[in-house]
């Protein structure tokens, strides 16, 4: 699609028609277990364990336990954040014990990296994050994509900023998106602006002595995230006047990453005629 950018009057229709032809008739939004686990790990790394982010290996290990158990372990390490020197090692050890057939109780959680317990309650934003829906995330992605295409094409909002917004919930994210749009002439880096705002609002989960917020290194992303990122990039750089809509993106997700990437590339290749798929 990218290679045929000049030909395609409606990239959204092009992609939806291609998906329908290949048998993806139902366009539904599916939030996989992997995406839930990855998002939670990203949030924890950005807001709780900035100096010791959760590694890809730990995330992969938790995926083998299923979403419910993974979220329980995430909640556990957050509650014990001051005790745990190595959250990645903690999670990998826990996953290893459970996949080996053990049925750990509360005693399993005492690992060498843990010092004396510190009592603390679970912050409200954590519960909100655990309950965030795929609809909220889709709403945030759509809004960020629109802003990239129509307001910040020269300095698009990056994936880390979008992930930070997801950690705040859709309602607050929309308020901040509106704020950054209204200040577009003043804001040189919308990504930095949003990440700073998110960090400020979630500071209740960060130790008060932390000198600054460290952005975690990229983890392995899910197929759905790869497709969404590519669509966001195309909207900002190739189709700013006719951005790919959310329904088309969902249709691409149903085809799988490999085929979606082929169609994205295919739609940017020629130059004059509108392809029959439109």
pLDDT, tens digit (0-9, with 9 covering 90-100), for 260-276: 888 888 765 532 333 33
Q: What is the 3-state secondary structure (H, E, C) of the chain?
A: CHHHCCCCCCHHHHHHHHHHHCCCCCCCCCCCHHHHHHHHHHHHHHHCCCCCCCCHHHHHHHHCCCHHHHHHHHHHHHHCCCCECCHHHHHHHHHHHHHCCCCCCHHHHCCCCECCCCCCCCCHHHHHHHCCCHHHHHHHHHHHHHHHHHCCCCCCCCHHHHHHHHCCCHHHHHHHHHHHHHCCCCCCCHHHHHHHHHHHHCHHHCCCCCCCCCCCCCCCCCHHHHHHHHHHHHHHHCCCCCCCCHHHHHHHHHHCHHHHHHHHHHCCCCCCCCCCCC
Six token digits for residue 50: 């900035």
pLDDT at 77: 94
pLDDT at 23: 58
pLDDT at 103: 43
pLDDT at 175: 92
Distances (CA, A) of 167 to 43, 68, 250: 6, 18, 22
Six token digits for residue 183: 């200040």
Q: Identify the segments of the chain with pLDDT beneath 50.
A: 24-31, 102-133, 204-221, 270-278
How many Cα atoms are found within 13 Å in the side-chain-facing hemisphere of 253? 24
Q: Torsions phi, psi of 84, nearest 5?
A: -95, 115
Q: 84 - beta bridge partners?
A: 114
Cα separation, 132 vs 126, whole angstroms: 10
Cβ within 8 Å of residue 44, ≥6 positions away: 54, 74, 77, 78, 87
Contact in structure between 44 and 78 (CB atoms under 8 Å): yes
Six token digits for residue 115: 């010092």
- Its pTM stands at 0.36
């Amino acid at each position: 699609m990218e290679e045929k950018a000049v030909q395609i009057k409606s990239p959204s229709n092009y992609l939806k028609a291609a998906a329908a032809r290949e048998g993806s008739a139902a366009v539904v939004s599916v939030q996989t277990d992997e995406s839930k686990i990855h998002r939670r790990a990203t949030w924890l790394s950005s807001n709780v364990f900035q100096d010791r982010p959760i590694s890809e290996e730990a995330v992969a290990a938790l995926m083998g336990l299923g979403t419910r158990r993974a979220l329980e372990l995430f909640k556990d390490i957050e509650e014990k954040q001051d005790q745990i020197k190595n959250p990645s090692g903690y999670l990998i050890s826990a996953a290893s014990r459970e996949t080996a057939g053990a049925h750990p109780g509360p005693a399993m959680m005492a690992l060498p990296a843990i010092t004396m317990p510190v009592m603390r309650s679970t912050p409200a934003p954590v519960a909100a994050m655990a309950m965030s829906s795929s609809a909220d995330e889709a709403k945030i992605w759509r809004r960020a994509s629109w802003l990239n295409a129509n307001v910040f094409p020269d300095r698009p909002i990056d994936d880390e900023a979008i992930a930070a917004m997801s950690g705040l919930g859709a309602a607050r994210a929309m308020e901040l998106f509106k704020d950054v749009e209204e200040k577009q002439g003043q804001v040189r880096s919308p990504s930095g602006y949003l990440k700073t705002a998110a960090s400020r609002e979630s500071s209740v989960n960060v130790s008060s002595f932390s000198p600054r917020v460290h952005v975690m290194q990229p983890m392995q992303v899910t197929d759905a995230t790869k497709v969404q990122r590519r669509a966001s990039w195309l909207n900002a750089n190739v189709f700013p006047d006719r951005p790919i809509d959310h329904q088309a993106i969902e249709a691409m997700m149903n085809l799988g990453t490999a085929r979606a990437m082929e169609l994205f590339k295919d739609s940017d290749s020629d130059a004059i005629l509108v392809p029959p798929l439109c």
